[in-house]
Amino acid sequence: MKQDSDNYVALGFGKDYAWIDLANSLEWNGFGKLTDRLQDPAWASHIVKHWNLAPPPPRPAPLAQLIALRTLLRRMAEKLIAGEALDERDLNALNSYLNVLVRVKLFQRQNGVHSELVPLRPGWPWILSRIAASFVEMMELNRPDRLKYCPNEGCKWIFYDRTKANTRRWCNDRTCGNRDRVRRSRSRDKTTTRTKSSKSD
Ligand SMILES: [Zn+2]
């Protein structure tokens, strides 16, 4: 439902990759104030619903595991953004999240037969593996230059630039982008005032 997806966007969920949403669940408000959205017990079920990762899992989310995966993904993202090679240890750690038993299941649809990977045991390991797999999916595109941080030091929102020319700068042009324009024009005004007053001295 559109309203639902809009609500999720308002809650900080995006349209790029599930892993980016998990990474950004550690959210700086643009002025450096940090909120850990994972501490809200509803957040984990939101990410599952938003990305259609599984039917509602029976048990409460394993918070410690989600935090560990988030730390790993943020560290790997940092490396990619800095243009550095990924650590083998981090790749092994990511691999361990992907290590769940799955099988191929066939479905009959109106437009023919369709197959899907389904877990042998549904639950949180499967959901964590889907989030980890979304990072792999992004890496396989081999465009690390499209992965970026918002350059506002008080924000640092992670996003994947899908613009044709790869020119997106801000998490949101209306918030961080606009703040930057206001800051620049203020400092320009100050310089002009200073120049003027030094001239009149
Ligand atoms: Zn920002």
Alpha-carbon distance values, 42 to 21, 30, 46, 48 (Å): 14, 23, 6, 10
Is the per-residue pLDDT at 5 higher than 70? no
Read off the pLDDT of residues 9-51 as tens digits, 9 standing for 90 and up.
666 688 889 999 999 999 998 888 999 999 998 899 999 999 9
Query: 163: CA distance to ligand 1 center in Å?
Result: 17
User: How many residues are recorded in the chain?
Assistant: 201
pTM for the whole thing? 0.85
- Give me the domains of the chain, ranges plus CATH numbers: 2-97+126-169 (1.10.3300.10)
For ligand 1, an ion, list residues with CB under 5 A. 150, 152, 155, 157, 171, 176
pLDDT at 200 over 50: no
Per-residue model confidence (pLDDT) at position 201:
46
* Class of residue 51 by CB neighbours under 10 A (exposed 0-12, middle 13-18, buried 19+): buried
Q: Are 64 and 124 in contact (CB under 8 A)?
A: no
153 Cα–ligand 1 center, Å: 8
CA-angle at 200, arms to 198 and 201, nearest 5°: 65
Q: How many A from CA of 170 to the centre of ligand 1? A: 6
Can you tell me whether residue 179 is helix, strand or coil?
helix
Ligand 1 centroid to Cα of residue 93, in Å, is: 29
